């Protein structure tokens, strides 16, 4: 199983950074400890047993994915996009323009019309962020029961993205094995 943690913490005294999440008083590492690299146990499923974040992700409807690259000439997807796909959630991408189109080219589905994705087509990074902010505010104004109904309606999309991720993982593993002649 692949365990992905996103943790950033400045180590006191300016000696560097450590990354950690603190959710409901629980840490996935101790302050000052080294950044933990992903563990590979079972390539069939990204979800860790006793996932510290599983309870947290049960409570959210939409994950705002803030990619590392926002204003850069080429696309870059990080592990951050895995979070909503693995946890079967809707997501809003904060990244380079046309990142959602790039995800669609990879075979993933997105969540229009519930999420107005026109923000993602705006080239100017400032205007894109302004539109993104407007879209998030719009979504926050939607009644909770409507959001819950939409989540139920999109279950097939969540599952499709999850299965597509597994397909891509298997393809990459096979490609790697071929290159290494394993």
Contact 64, 94 (CB under 8 A): yes
Examine the domain organization and report whether 133 and 81 are in the same domain.
yes
Looking at the 3D structure of the chain, how many domains does it have?
Answer: 2
Examine the domain organization and report whether 53 and 140 are in the same domain.
no
pTM of the model: 0.69
Examine the domain organization and report whether 34 and 76 are in the same domain.
no
Domain boundaries, position 136: 60-182
Examine the domain organization and report whether 170 and 101 are in the same domain.
yes
The DSSP bridge pattern shows strands 90-94 and 62-66 to be parallel
Residue 6 has pLDDT above 50, yes or no: no
The model's confidence at residue 176, banded by pLDDT at 50, 70 and 90, is: confident
CA distance 40 to 57: 22
Examine the domain organization and report whether 18 and 80 are in the same domain.
no
- pLDDT tens track for 120-167: 999 999 999 999 999 999 999 999 899 999 999 999 999 999 999 999
Tokens representing 113 are: 């019309």
Examine the domain organization and report whether 98 and 153 are in the same domain.
yes
Examine the domain organization and report whether 127 and 155 are in the same domain.
yes
Pick left, alpha or beta for residue 116 (phi over 0 → left; psi -120 to 50 → alpha; otherwise beta).
beta
């Amino acid at each position: 199983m692949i365990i992905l943690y996103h943790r950033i913490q400045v180590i006191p005294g300016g000696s560097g950074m450590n990354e950690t999440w603190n959710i409901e008083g629980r840490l996935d590492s101790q302050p000052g400890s080294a950044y933990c690299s992903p563990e590979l146990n079972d390539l069939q499923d990204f979800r860790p047993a006793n996932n510290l974040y599983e309870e947290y992700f049960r409570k959210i409807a939409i994950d705002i994915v803030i990619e590392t690259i926002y204003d850069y000439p080429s696309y870059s997807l990080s592990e951050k996009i895995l979070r909503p796909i693995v946890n079967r959630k809707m997501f809003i991408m904060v990244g380079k323009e046309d990142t959602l189109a790039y995800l669609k080219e990879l075979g993933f589905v997105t969540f229009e019309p519930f999420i107005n994705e026109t923000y993602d087509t705006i080239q100017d990074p400032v205007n894109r962020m302004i539109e993104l902010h407007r879209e998030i505010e719009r979504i926050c104004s939607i009644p909770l029961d409507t959001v819950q109904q939409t989540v139920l309606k999109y279950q097939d999309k969540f599952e499709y993205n999850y299965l597509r991720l597994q397909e891509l993982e298997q393809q990459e593993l096979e490609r790697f094995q071929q290159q290494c002649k394993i």
